[in-house]
Amino acid sequence: MDSFLIEGGEPLKGVIEVSGSKNAALPIIMASIAVDDEVVYTNVPDLRDIHTTINLLNILGREAELRDGVVTVKNGALSMEAPYDLVKTMRASVLCLGPLLARLGEAKVSLPGGCAIGARPVDQHLSALEKMGASFDLENGYIHGRCPGGLKGAHIRFDFPTVGGTENVLMAACLARGETVLENAAREPEIVDLANFLIRCGARIEGQGTTMMHVWGVERLRGCSYRIMPDRIEAGTFLIAAGVTGGELLLRHCPLGDMSAVVDKLRAAGMVITEVPEGVLARVGEEGLKCVDVCTRPHPGFPTDMQAQFMVLMCCAQGSGLVEENIFENRFMHVQELVRMGADIHVTGSSAMVRGGRKLTGAPVMASDLRAGAALVLAGLAAEGETRVQRIYHVDRGYEHLADKLSAVGARIRRVKEAD
């Protein structure tokens, strides 16, 4: 396995291109299962999870490949089974359940894996699809769904605005008979991107980006070409990289309009973030960084996927601030690693008190999940001395060529083998 070896203390300066969104690309590419014809996706990031999705599509009977940021998915005879060996590595694999049921009337999908950041059950996915006429059995670690009469429209109210549940049901509803209403739907920009893709394919959807969506089923979805939106989480990570290193970065293709909660907190913490003709410019203001309180919420609130990275910024700031995690119950696993680097953080339940102003120092640390890994890279960039971030396969799941992008703007970071 590989690690990142980082020599910290270098201010980052230069231009970074924001890649296509991982969280948008995964469900949008999975939606090709519901489409009759060839689909071409552009601005697709070269990520471990994207390759897993392509492998899964090929096993399910599609002909899919990624080449130079373009994914092409050709039609083929569909299979109903998503095997454990693939699904165990990526939670988003469960998103094939809805479109498979809609197309085949049957699906057998292994219970999902992915990052170990707490329980993320699929019960809301299943209960919603049951209202649409499906029945499910759990057999040897697999979800076996059947709807021999086809799916039918239903009024569905989610107990909690689940992103994956909204995406799964949205895809299924496009081919169901009649109207489906999704109440308390998730509002993330990536769901809007999925809806826009499906509309391009001929779906009838209204209300994307709100808590109430209406979907009228159609007979078939046609192929198209579609460009994936930029990655707001990657962009937010790079904004913080400018802050923790005291540098200045210009981000091209930065989706600032989808990042209000993050940008507002960064500005409150002392960063200057400015839209310019070339993109978005980020640096620390004259008064320096100061700690602020952060509370994760479903969109449009502060995203849980930025919590770990923002905590690193607070470690480098003056004062103290409280971080409350309200989405996942086990998403503070990066804290003990940051403490190893000299951070002053105390966790009580779902809250973490961060006291800034202490210099971070390099240390060997271990990534426990995707965003924790990104946070440890940021900490390594800010720290004095050498940091080795281990288990970076987590980072590879969500950040395209991270070391190359950071090296190009002055970071001293390289990828090494664990045995080095």
Active site residues: 115
Contact between residue 21 and residue 398 where contact means Cβ atoms under 8 Å apart: no
**According to DSSP H, which parts of 97-227 are helical?**
97-104, 123-131, 163-173, 189-200
Q: Measure the CA–CA gap between 360 and 315, rounded to whole angstroms.
A: 8
Tokens 């946070």, residue? 375
CA proximity to 147, closest of 112, 175, 182? 175
Contact between residue 174 and residue 153 where contact means Cβ atoms under 8 Å apart: no
323's enclosing H/E stretch is: strand 320-324
Q: Is 159 exposed, middle or buried (0-12, 13-18, 19+ CB in 10 A)?
A: exposed
Tokens at 130, concatenated: 């049951």
Tokens 């105390």, residue? 346
The residue type found at 14 is G
Contact between residue 395 and residue 352 where contact means Cβ atoms under 8 Å apart: no
One DSSP character per residue, 285-322 reads -TT--B---EEB-STTSB-GGGHHHHHHHHHTSBSEEE
Tokens 């299962």, residue? 33
Residue 117 CB coordination number (10 Å): 23
Tokens at 176, concatenated: 């169901």
Q: Measure the CA–CA gap between 310 and 316, rounded to whole angstroms.
A: 10
32's enclosing H/E stretch is: none
Q: Measure the CA–CA gap between 206 and 219, rounded to whole angstroms.
A: 18
The residue type found at 330 is N
Tokens at 108, concatenated: 């057998």
Q: Measure the CA–CA gap between 73 and 29, rounded to whole angstroms.
A: 8
